[in-house]
Structure 1
Amino acid sequence: MRDLATGVGYLIKGQRWMAQHPRSWGFGMVPALITLVGYVAALIALGLWTDDAISWLTPFADDWGTPWLGLFRGALAVLFFGGCLLLALITFTAVTLLVGQPFYESLSERVDLSLDGHAPESGLPLWRELLIALRESTTVVIRVVLWGTLLFVAGFLPVIGQTAIPAIGFCIAGFFLTEELTAVALQRRRVPLAERLRLLRSRKLLVLGFGVPLTLLFLVPLAAVVVMPGAVAGATLLARDLLGEPTSQDPPASGDTALGTGIPGGPGPHGPDPMGPR
């Protein structure tokens, strides 16, 4: 249970870090806002066409009497839309990170610098990083689709389908949401997807403590836009924890005022702050 509380704590610390850096927060919301507009339009269209799609997929039920026809297709519509919403939650993060890749990577570096004055770098050109991120995100989305299909089928089970299955769905969404967010810091450390998944599975309560509350927040209109930058900052702390790196600021060294105060605005060992002065 301690790991669960720690995961929630990293989510809160990430938001607090961004609140102390409002300029970065504002820039970080732009990619999320652009992505959100597209997703809202797609979900509205999906909502308008769900009933027609379910009717087309279940022609065998056309002759069923009331109330069975309405109950059957209504349950399918809810499960179908819920599965699409689960997929949207995961892919929203992946797409937002791809759209805002340069910013979020710099943001993650700043969090690292504020802790110990060191920000690992992948050493890869931007196009290569984007290609790797796209490939690995596609792999994650495929896994989510498979899980979503399994949960969709399990949703037909009496009682369990309406109670336990939605809870399991939130846990799965939280796990993969955390994977996408920690990937920003872990890819800079050249940690491949298979190893990232192994690390996350080794600390499931830590991951769920971070990811499940974030999943619930993402269901609130516009909340995803506001919390996304802080989620990246918090995920960087979580990634450091998984690798055994310090997650709190080291005591300031003599004369090191910029990093010693926790403000990543000083030059540090990797040159000037990539986000520029605040």
Structure 2
Amino acid sequence: MSVLALEGATYRYRGATEAALDGVSLAVEKGRSLGIVGESGSGKTTALRLLLALTTPSEGQVLFDGEPLLRRNSGQARRLRRAVQPVFQDPYASLDPRMRVDRIVAEPLVSLGVELDGARRRARVAESLAEVGLDAEALGRYPHEFSGGQRQRIAIARALVTDPAVLIADEPVSALDVTTRIEVIELLDRLRRERGLSIVMVSHDVSVVAALCDDVLVLQGGRAVESGPTLDVLSAPREPYTQGLIAAIPRLGVEP
């Protein structure tokens, strides 16, 4: 059974003549990573917003632990927000510059009402930082004191602190240099294996998906045009659109 899924999901923005997402189905399996690729306007961000329950589909449904996600079910929504955590594109913009790292990483625990006393909360925060390769000395520092790669590690630690089942990563390495991209991809892959995490990653860079993701979904104009195991899709794409993406996008240095 999938942890998180879209089933025939369609989303139309108010006043738009065409759907931003049109009848898309996908499944996020436990311990596996799914890459969503496509050009700007293909529906990638809309799909992530649906998976994060930030948007409700116009048609179709979102499934969480095999059950339809019901908008009015507050208990189900709380479970999803703890189990499904985002990692955003820009580590410079996603961390509050006025907050120290200890407060940044603890923020989801506070906002989701996770009941921990001060000592246990500090220990949980320190554990999350250690998992991403940062020591306790980072707790009292501010975001501007870190490199871009370290900031993204802090953002990942913040996502891990609630012990999620799924990470939703929106272009998580696009703002980083090539060497740091590889390091962060390797970190995400290690966390997936060690924690049994599921990962959904949107990327415009096919080589990033090749390096991290078990499965891939190709979107074009809001529709799914190709999907399957990453190696199969990227080594022998059937659709001309997929072939064009592979040929046109700069490589990270990791071949499918």
Per residue, is there more helix in 1 or in 2?
1
TM-score bracket, normalised by the shorter chain, equals under 0.3
Per residue, is there more strand in 1 or in 2?
2
Structure of higher CA gyration radius: 1
Superposition TM-score, scaled by structure 2 size? 0.26
Superposition TM-score, scaled by structure 1 size? 0.24
